[in-house]
Amino acid sequence: MSNTPGSSIRFLSVDDSFSMRRVIEIMLKRCGITQLYFAKGGREAIDLVRQYQYDAVFCDWNMPDVCGLEVVKAVRELPNYDDVPIMMCTSERFKREVVSAVSAGANNYIVKPFQINVFRRKLADMLEVKYPELAQDLRQQSNEQEQNATPLAEDTPAPSPE
């Protein structure tokens, strides 16, 4: 097992879309988080958190069986999950949804589609209180990537006149 700050944190990702579960898996692994668990819907997620202890939860909003907001509420009702970081991962962009998610107990909110740097920053913000070393590492990764990024204009050749 790796000794990166995120290697011991158990993450549960909840999304009914296989492709989004795969995207989250890839992004978390790039962030050094390797203990990943997945639920294909809200009901499965609720069953899993009742049976097992996770250190952080990512949850989609729109799912066919139980919506993500209800999952967040159910997770927060469990005594061993009162301080577990939860992020809503969704395409819902309106302020009222963000307010609803936070009121239900989500610590952070990210709107799909998103880029790896935005994901890292949101993840760092979500984990800051419980996992400050990992949060610092994620911010450093994000800063390094931004410093090494080449602006699109410099990287794209001008069209040749014909």
Which pLDDT value is given to residue 155?
Answer: 47
Report the run of H or E that residue 98 belongs to, with start and end. Answer: helix 95-104
pLDDT for the residue 20: 92
pLDDT of 146 reads 79
Residue numbers in the chain where pLDDT is lower than 50: 1, 152-160
| Separation of alpha carbons 34 and 12, rounded Å | 11
Bridge partners of 109? 88
Domains of the chain and any CATH numbers:
10-115 (3.40.50.2300)
What beta strand segments (E) does 27-136 contain? 35-39, 56-59, 86-90, 108-111
pTM of the model: 0.84
Q: Could you tell me the CA-to-CA distances from 148 to 45, 118, 123, 132, 142 in Å, in that order? A: 38, 16, 21, 24, 10
pLDDT for res 88? 93
* pLDDT of amino acid 121: 92
